[in-house]
Chains A and B, each alone.
Chain A
């Protein structure tokens, strides 16, 4: 079967088309067209939707809703999303960022998917026509997901609460050794009152560092204050081994980089 593209005005119709065997949703093409070019013949039909809702960014009262077709470049240049620009720019080079979408990033296997790491730390909600799901639930079940992601929503943290770090061997654009996103709320006395930390490459998909989060509560962001969190950073992780780095190396340097992110 030759490859064919079907374009639909609505997500509903695209979802219907995706039910046929051998079909796959086409976002920016960085995953799907690549697979086809590389000889993945399991996909014979590409489906896309030109629904404008998929390409919109709405920010109201600190609540953000980003259409799944919004590109990394669009996020990086959006004036209301400047705190996320660093995470959006962590994806690819300029051309890839003009193509790679928020929706696609949710499906990118490690070492890709740096923006999904950020969304996990933001505790985003992922919407499809079937309803909404917390991102963590969505990521866990993403391999069997068939419904088109339409939007992701989250509450924008106050300026300075969101931190992001990507470590790569090649600069300025290289894939991740690991990536870390964190949303930290500080109490008046400077101690951490709430923390969400998400990790990239420490499993085959973004994961939360719950033990480290817990160990941060009530602590100050000092070398001594974060020490228990760093000691717990690797708990529950199963880092990937790939051409970039081994699981051993990723596990070894995770606390180092988490420490540097927390102390910046």
Chain B
């Protein structure tokens, strides 16, 4: 028996959004009487952290701590339209809508503060801690709490804003295919190192080193969650997953988590993640959509590493022990 080691590389890019269908999302932002902010959306959190990220984006834009923001989403009676959570669009599209809404709300907030402080709104800034200060004279300030009370009970102003982000639909040109399929692109390069058992075809992924360029890590810990989980799914796609193991034959499709194969907690590659940030021109604080991109480069990187290890190409996914063993036997026979 021989355990053979190999490594492979892959580099990819990934589009944000679905421009070919038209891609709108809306947001509403308003202040409560005591200066807390509600973000109202109909966007869906699949576990990637939409609610938390929209709160951080709103907080940054308004100039308050994140815990002053509550996100109320996905009730069609209250939330304005969102196309949906897919195509790496959630953070990018909804984030832009939230920024626009929050900017409008912030402007009203500053105007009310200006009246209270008897200065021009353009002379005001937020300290990020819940206060509005006069630029250059920070001793002259008012809390957002007091501004909101004033707006509600004294000045009759609604500290609120509407946000709409629309990517107009791009229609591919029939003959040339000229189109604008996406707004911005995330990038990745992955190097995978594997061991292949040449008697059984079993593959062990030893390490994956993933470099991801995602525009802006809005919340680095949450980005890490996506990227680590995505890297695992990429390896899973490379080596394990199929609903039809004998495709195109339809027999023997798995019907449970025992038959539908994915790497278990004892199969984990040592995973390294490095993130670069080249802010996108149109992303919220430069963010791109990393959620899908992060699961792609591992697949070809592992495939290339398998070839590097045992000298046979498996061009059909998933790269099962059976496919490797058959290829090794065919290779030996030639």
Contacts and interface: CB of A to CB of B under 8 A. Distances in A.
Interface string B283-325: 0000000000000000000000000000000000000011001
A175 B260 CA distance: 11
Contacts of A253: 199-201, 321, 325
Nearest to A257: B200
B267 A171 contact: yes
B245 interface: yes
Contact of A249 (B252, B262, B265, B325): B325
A170 interface: yes
A169 interface: yes
A233 to B, nearest CB: 14
Q: Which of A169, A173, A245, A246 has the most CB of B within 10 A?
A: A169
Given A241-B252, A245-B322, A249-B325, A174 B258 contact: yes
A252 interface: yes
A243 B245 contact: yes
A242 interface: yes
Interface residues of A, number: 21
Contact of A170 (B252, B263, B322): B263
Given A170-B267, A171-B267, A245-B321, 9 more contacts: A243-B252, A243-B260, A243-B261, A244-B259, A248-B322, A249-B325, A252-B325, A253-B201, A256-B199
Contacts of B245: 243
Given A243-B245, A248-B322, A170 B261 contact: yes
Contacts, number: 57
B253 A243 contact: yes
B248 interface: no
Contacts of A172: 264-266
A175 B262 CA distance: 12
- State the majority secondary structure of interface residues on A: loop
A248 B322 CA distance: 8
A243 B322 contact: no
Interface string A61-92: 00000000000000000000000000000000
Contact of A174 (B1, B253, B264): B264
Given A241-B252, A243-B254, A169 B322 contact: no
A248 B325 CA distance: 11
B185 interface: no
Given A171-B266, A171-B267, A256-B1, A244 B199 contact: no
5 contacts: A170-B263, A248-B322, A249-B321, A249-B322, A252-B325
Given A248-B322, A252-B325, A169 B240 contact: yes
A175 B322 contact: no
B262 A170 contact: yes
B200 A169 contact: no
Interface string B173-215: 0000000000000000000000000011100000000000000
Contacts of B252: 241-243
A244 B262 CA distance: 11
B199 A175 contact: no
Contact of A256 (B200, B240, B246, B267): B200
Nearest to A242: B252
Contacts of A257: 200
B90 to A, nearest CB: 31
Interface in A170-214: 170-175
Contacts of B246: 241, 246
A157 B258 CA distance: 32
Contacts of B259: 175, 242-244
A173 B262 CA distance: 11
Q: Which of A172, A173, A252 has the most CB of B within 10 A?
A: A252
Contacts of B261: 169-170, 174, 243-244
A175 B258 contact: yes
Nearest to A246: B322
Contacts of A246: 246, 322
B264 to A, nearest CB: 4
Contacts of B321: 169, 245, 249, 253
Contacts of B266: 170-173
Contacts of B322: 245-246, 248-249
A102 B288 CA distance: 54
Contacts of A252: 325
Nearest to B251: A241
